[in-house]
Amino acid sequence: MSLSTIPEALEALRQGKPVIVADDENRENEGDAIISAALATPEWIAWIVRHSSGFICAPLPGEWADRLDLPPMVPVNQDARGTAYTVSVDAADRQSTGISASDRAHTLNVLADAASTPSSVIRPGHILPLRAVDGGVRERAGHTEAAVDLMRLAGLPPVGGICEIVSDDGSMMRLPGLLELGETDGLPVITIEQLIAYLDEVEPTDAAASGPRRRVSLRAEALVPTSHGVFRFLAYRDRISGTDHLAVVSGELTEEAPLVRVHSECLTGEAFGSLKCECGPQLDAALDVIEQDGGIVIYMRGHEGRGIGLINKLRAYSLQERGLDTVDANLALGLPADARDYAAAAGILSDLGVARVRLLTNNTDKVAQLRRLGVDVVEQVPLIVGVGPANQGYLETKRDRMGHIIADGALAEALATTAAHQAAPSTEENAR
């Protein structure tokens, strides 16, 4: 189970479905179901009531509240989060008491209708409008502002219906439960942090001028002893995808252009020693060299199989067994040859104060992407290790079809080195 993307959430809203939106773990640490008020139906309102407190609110811009003559609920707001409740309302033409799913869906529809007037609703009622602050989630990172921003981005009237999701015992449901609920009912789950980062990318403001750095947020840091040495591990979260990445740092990073390896996650190569790629040996070699010379290994999670995921990676392997190369196998699955995005890596480097790097890679596309993201790659340092009969063709394909810089002599030398290493007796064998 993982977070959805903002575009996936916007498409669900356009279809009239709710999306589940979690806020920051240091704020309320709760999730709300958010639905388009314009597209609200009795069926989805009933779903929201079943999974929530039943206290349905309707976030809307200040000018909409003014047009409908919806004053604040109280003259002095004492709510700790500054939630701007107005007087409660029902649609003036409600069919019953106003509490039914049908009546509440209709009230939301009326609130989202640009033609509605103050006489279109009666006060009090069973829906509580919420006045969103100008500036949206980048001004106040609450569900109220998230709902209005999401509707606007989806091209819908800027009025939502929201309600806090609760567990069966009545307590607020936290992120693991929200992800499970979203998967069970086929609904997107996103975070307000993702939404802020998305807005920074598609609608940059002066406040977002720091660029890539805002893409990630530092969540944890610790010293970790490893078989390669002791490193400083920094855990970052991608504010758009929700993926966690690691920066493994050696030294004080005082060099003008430190050595940096941006390494893509590879479960098969790193955990299981797969010989179909050179990922495991590349990671080991990168850690060894930065332990000795100082630098950074940025470990990019979510990059399995050049970004197509573990299952599709194994499907591509199956096609390679039938004669396709690594590029054509991806294309045969309807997937790009390389789906990786290095924006989070650029953000991590920015957060670490590193603007110029010597990049440890054979991949010219990685160099080009990082340069487009504002990283000054002053040198591309080759990393040719772990070559063997099982992956020689794979490396040749990356060289010939994907622009990787792998000299024929270097490939042959690496192949010979691997063969010699495999032929040499181990320390244990020498001791026998």
The β-bridge partners of 356 are 376
Out of 338, 341, 351, 358, the active site residue is 338
The β-bridge partners of 296 are 249, 260
Out of 214, 239, 340, 358, the active site residue is 340
Beta strand residue intervals within 269-391, DSSP E = 295-300, 356-360, 376-381
SS3 of 219, please?
strand
Is residue 174 part of the annotated active site? The answer reads: no
SS3 of 32, please?
strand
Can you say which residues are annotated as belonging to the binding site? Answer: 27-28, 32, 140-144, 261-266, 277, 279, 282, 304-306, 326, 361, 366
Can you say which residues are annotated as belonging to the binding site for GTP? Answer: 261-265, 282, 304-306, 326, 361, 366
Is residue 338 part of the annotated active site? The answer reads: yes
What does DSSP say about strands 31-36 and 160-164: parallel, antiparallel, or unpaired? antiparallel
CB 274 within 8 A of CB 280: yes
CA–CA distance, 196 with 218 (Å, rounded to integer)? 16
> At 423, which helix (H) or strand (E)?
helix 408-423
Q: Which residues contact 344 (CB under 8 A, 6 or more apart)?
A: 215, 216, 236, 238, 241, 243, 245, 300
For residue 142, give the DSSP letter. Answer: S
CB 178 within 8 A of CB 165: yes
Number of Cβ within 10 Å of residue 27's Cβ equals 13
Phi/psi at 92 (5° precision): -65, -30
SS3 of 305, please?
helix
Residue 48 class from Cβ within 10 Å (0-12 exposed, 13-18 middle, 19+ buried)?
buried
CB 111 within 8 A of CB 158: no
For residue 85, give the DSSP letter. Answer: B
Can you say which residues are annotated as belonging to the binding site for D-ribulose 5-phosphate? Answer: 27-28, 32, 140-144
**Letter for the amino acid at 259?**
L
Q: Residues with catalytic annotation?
A: 338, 340
